[in-house]
Structure 1
Amino acid sequence: MAWSRKSAMFASLAIALYLLGLVLRNQQLVTVAVVLLSFLTWAAFMSNHADVSSSGRRAEEERKNEGVQLNSIVALRKISSSRIFEDGEIEVTLRLQNKSNLPKIVEVRDRVPEVMRVKKGANYVLMELGPQRETTISYTIETPLRGFYTIGPVCIRIQDAFGLFHNEREVNLYDDFLVFPKMEDIKDALIKSRVPKIFTGAVNIRNPGEGSNFYNLREYIPGDPMKKVNWAATARSGGKMMVNEYERDAVSDIIIIIDSRSVSETGPVSRNSLVYSTRAAASLSQYFLSRRDSVGLVVYSDEIVSVDRDTGKKQLYVLLTKLAGAIAKGNTPLKVVTNRIMPHINRGSPIIILSPLEDDSTIVDAVRDLRARNFDVTVLSPSSLEFEFDAKRLDRTGYEVLKTERDILMSELRGLGAFVMDWEPDMMLNTALAGARGF
């Protein structure tokens, strides 16, 4: 229970009248003061014994139409989606019901995550809710950043009928939702495995087999399907039946490595290396899985978290979930990561490293080991220097010195045979990939 300004004023007035009555020996003033104090005591007692209980259960644990309640105020929330991509919108509907036979003056605030912005409507209301009545609060929030988020609890303040006291409680009504990194449409990643699998995929390799791209002409062999016969070439060959051969489509193992160390979060919250890396990884995963490749993921921070290689839409959901939960912390060296994963990857498989390439003395050794084992290494490096400089947190002199050191490191990695690209903040992923692969 909390006192309002009105109750504090009445209490001050009653005490003043009581003291004045004692000084002046005026029985009437003392009587008025006692009446006022008695009234305040009664009002406080009544307010303190109403609407004070709350439930600690989450929304999904409640029965479908009940919600979570104080003794007489019931709250029930619904959200339009529990999974959404960055820059999406979630519609929230909060229903409040007054179960008592008395009107209630209620002040309600539905707590939303700090990084979210209420785009439409309002998550706050102050109103009188009649007996056995209900009202609805509707609002829309934007989801600018990936991650796991929770809406709730609901803060409810109920005033008494006289406006003297109010009870304030947090109703433990929660709704969880997941924000995936947004994805960019990739036309061609320009990455193929040097040792593709024998399974049918969507990557053309320079070997004959079942596929879609023309490879060569050869003479007909009994058993060849007639649909492969090239009748125009047969007519020109002087009677020999010629058939088309196609490049064999193959499946590749793709490994994406994301640097999620503390340094990857350097820069503004919405513009840093980790934000760009997770978005790139999501886009690349969608692209490779759409061409039926097998994609695995490694995220390293203070620990190494990996998702084993697999294909299909289910794998994309698993990868997006891991990317949404990536948190910048720790300082695990890249060489520790590569030493752990190399025994489990087919030689010649493409490895894509997304890292700011900072505060790690093992980067060159790690890439050298990968290249020595014939892995196709592509490094996309969103530079935290650019983010810091754009945010005016780094002066020109410091930027130039650090930029020179970074360029030297990238040149050394290119000398090892890795494809490296300094990914600037405003550069499209398609452009960065083409630049890294030399196109």
Structure 2
Amino acid sequence: MESPTRSGRFILLAALAYALILAGVVTLNGGPLTLAVPLVVYLFATLVHRAPQIKVSAIRSINAEVLPQGEPLEVTVRITNEGQDLEEVMIEDPLPRGLSVERGQTRLLTSLPHGASYQMKYIVRGPRGSFSFNEIRVSASDHLGVLRDQAVVPARGRIVYLPEVTRLRKVAIRPQRTHGHFGPIPSRQAGLGVDFYGLREYQMGDPRRWINWRASARHNQEIFVNQFEQERIADVGIILDARQQSNVLLPGDKSLFEYSVQATGSLSEALVNDGNRVALLIYGYGMERTFRGYGKVQQERILYALGQARTGHNFALESLGFLPTRFFPAGSQIVMVSPLMNGDIQALSQLRSCGYDLLVVSPDPVDFESRELGIQGSIAWELAHLERTLLLRKL
């Protein structure tokens, strides 16, 4: 709770009364003193009949803590007066930055007798991100509106808007190392499968449909059968570049990073649906990790992490050369989602030299900025596009 606050009106009236009294004493004139008497009585009445101290409690309830981007969310706040009667009270619920009210009010003027409760409901929408509600601001004033008592009541709540996900048919990867479970990835080993892998001599018990009659016809005493490539699942690590210097932010809160987040969510869903063991690393302000896992629960973990992802600057993580490669198993598949900067090519080469198979998904900052600003076809756009093309060719 905060102590009673003297509003600007109270200070102005007190200063005016003090000036009149001082003028009357200095000039030995009773006129200013006479004019000061009503002001002093008015201020005294204000202090005597000021609003009582605010003693209220607040409970916040949210109908969903995790929901898709742009979905409406109902927020309910119940305020209960545990102190004396409050005849004129202002209740305000500050919204986190980025949320907008679709229906209802977050500020109201009402009265709260002792023990009474008031329930405030409103519906908000928001973009992808994490939003925290912290407090309710309550203020009460006297009948004359001169003194105002203010209080900050904790009423915490948190919501996470998940990113939009585009359904992908299949993400073609072929890492060096796979697991023993059946899946969609060629394992570079002979076994049960559908794709031709090679030939070997016939062994007792091999199905007749595997016999390669053309190859066997070239040899007098030997029969050859077809071998097929086994299809397995793999470890996949997705790295989302959240460095502030690699992002493009335009007026109207339009950010290239949002496209990177959407691409990461779509890739993770496709890879998880194929049965792979997927991990996520958000690299920027810090290193936020989602450890490897399978199935629908793992996809929910990844989307939850992406819902809270934000760009940031960290001098220790300015370069991709500081990526924690031990987070990913040796020989696994790494998917890098990054707009790419000039100094990133060497770091990606180091990942390849460590034995990782690398897939780069790079949102185009030149195209994004030129489309939003309408400068396609200009000389500046041509030069930026040429520089971008040369950067990609280095890969």
The alignment's TM-score, normalised by the length of structure 2, stands at: 0.76
Residue of structure 1 equivalent to 2:46: 43
Deviation at 1:373, TM superposition (A): 5.8
- What letter is aligned with 2:148? H
Question: Any conservation in 1 of the 2:137–2:150 contact (CA below 8 Å)?
Answer: yes
2:373 pairs with 365, 368, 392, which one? Answer: 392
- The reply on whether 1:133 has 2:133 as its aligned counterpart is no
1:422 aligns with none
Q: Quick one: distance in 1 between partners of 2:276 and 2:386?
A: 37
The residue number in structure 1 matching 2:320 is 334
Mean CA deviation greater in 85-94 or 110-119: 85-94
For the Cα contact (< 8 Å) 2:168–2:267, is it kept in 1?
A: yes
Alpha-carbon separation, structure 2, partners of 1:196 and 1:113? 45
Q: Relative to structure 1, is the Cα distance of residues 47 and 309 closer, same or farther in structure 2, using a 3 angstrom cutoff? A: same
Name the counterpart of 2:243.
261
**RMSD value, Cα:** 4.0
Cα distance per residue 1:56-75 (max 9 Å; x no partner):
xxxxxxxxxxxxxx42x332
* Alpha-carbon spacing, 1:221–1:37, altered in 2? closer, same or farther (3 Å): farther
How far 1:169 moved relative to its partner? Answer: 2.5
Residue 320 of structure 2 aligns with an amino acid whose one-letter code is: L
Residue 300 of structure 1 contacts residue 332 of structure 1 at CA under 8 Å; is this kept in 2? Answer: no
Matches within 5 A, 1:325-404: 325-330=309-314, 331-337=317-323, 340-341=324-325, 344-347=328-331, 349-358=332-341, 360-361=342-343, 363-372=344-353, 375-392=356-373, 396-404=378-386
Note closer, same or farther for the CA distance 1:25–1:261 as it changes in structure 2 (3 Å cut). closer
Q: Report the alpha carbon displacement of residue 272 of structure 1 after superposing the two structures with TM.
A: 2.7
Distance in 2, Cα, partners of 1:252 & 1:175: 39
Distance 1:81 1:344, change over 3 A: closer
CA–CA distance in 1 between the matches of 2:248 and 2:48? 54
What is the aligned partner in structure 2 of residue 85 from structure 1? 68
Asked if the contact 2:128/2:160 (under 8 Å) is kept, the reply is no
Report if aligned partners of 1:272, 1:387 keep a CA contact under 8 Å in 2.
Answer: no
Aligned ranges 1:396-435 → 2 under 5 Å: 396-413=378-395
In terms of mean alpha carbon deviation, does 106-115 or 323-332 score higher? 323-332
The AA in structure 1 aligned to 2:120 is: I
User: Percent of pairs identical after alignment?
Assistant: 22
The SS at the match of 2:172 is coil
- State which of 241, 246, 266 in structure 2 corresponds to 1:283: 266
Contact 1:260–1:274 (CA under 8 A) maintained in structure 2: yes
1:300 and 1:46 map into 2 onto residues whose CA distance is 59
Taking a change above 3 Å as real, the CA distance of residues 24 and 92 of structure 1, as seen in their structure-2 partners, is same
* 2: CA distance, partners of 1:26 / 1:197: 98
1:116 alignment counterpart: 99
Q: What is the 5 A alignment of 1:10-409?
A: 25=30, 30=34, 33-34=36-37, 36-44=39-47, 46-47=49-50, 50-51=52-53, 70-71=54-55, 73-100=56-83, 102-146=85-129, 148-203=130-185, 248-268=230-250, 270-301=253-284, 303-323=286-306, 324-330=308-314, 331-337=317-323, 340-341=324-325, 344-347=328-331, 349-358=332-341, 360-361=342-343, 363-372=344-353, 375-392=356-373, 396-409=378-391
From the superposition, tell whether residues 249 and 44 of structure 1 become closer, same or farther in structure 2 (CA, over 3 Å). Answer: farther
CA positional deviation for 1:295: 0.9
1:293, distance to aligned residue in structure 2 (A)? 0.4
Deviations 1:199-223 (A, max 9, x none): 2335466867667x6989xx9987x
1:150-185: per-residue Cα shift (whole Å, max 9, x none)? 113212111123333211232232212333333222
> 2:243 touches 2:283 (CA, 8 Å); kept in 1?
yes
CA positional deviation for 1:100? 4.3
- Cα distance in 2 for partners of 1:135, 1:154 equals 13
How big is the shift at 1:407? 0.2
Distance 1:100 1:368, change over 3 A: closer
Residue 333 to residue 33, structure 1, CA distance change in 2 (3 Å): closer
User: Do the aligned residues in 2 keep the contact of 1:264 with 1:272 (CA within 8 Å)?
Assistant: no
Would the aligned equivalents of 1:253 and 1:346 in 2 still touch at CA under 8 Å? no
Gaps of 5+ in 2: 210-226
- Deviates further, 100-109 or 202-211: 202-211
In the superposition, relative to structure 1, how do residues 293 and 98 fare at CA in structure 2: closer, same or farther (>3 Å)? Answer: same
Give the number of aligned pairs.
366
Q: Secondary structure at the match of 1:88?
A: coil
Q: Secondary structure at the match of 1:47?
A: coil
Q: Which AA in structure 2 matches 1:167?
A: D
Deviations 1:394-413 (A, max 9, x none): 89433322221110111221
CA contact (8 A) 1:303 1:332 kept: no
CA pair 221-41 structure 1, distance change in 2 beyond 3 A: farther
* Deviation (angstroms), 1:271: 3.4
Q: Distance in 2 between matches of 1:264 and 1:250?
A: 35
Q: 2:339–2:362: 8 Å Cα contact kept in structure 1?
A: yes
Question: Which string of whole-angstrom CA distances, capped at 9 and with x for unpartnered residues, describes residues 311-363 of structure 1?
Answer: 234433443343323432135322332xx41795332x3321111112x42x3
User: Unaligned 5+ residue runs, structure 1?
Assistant: 52-69, 231-244, 414-439
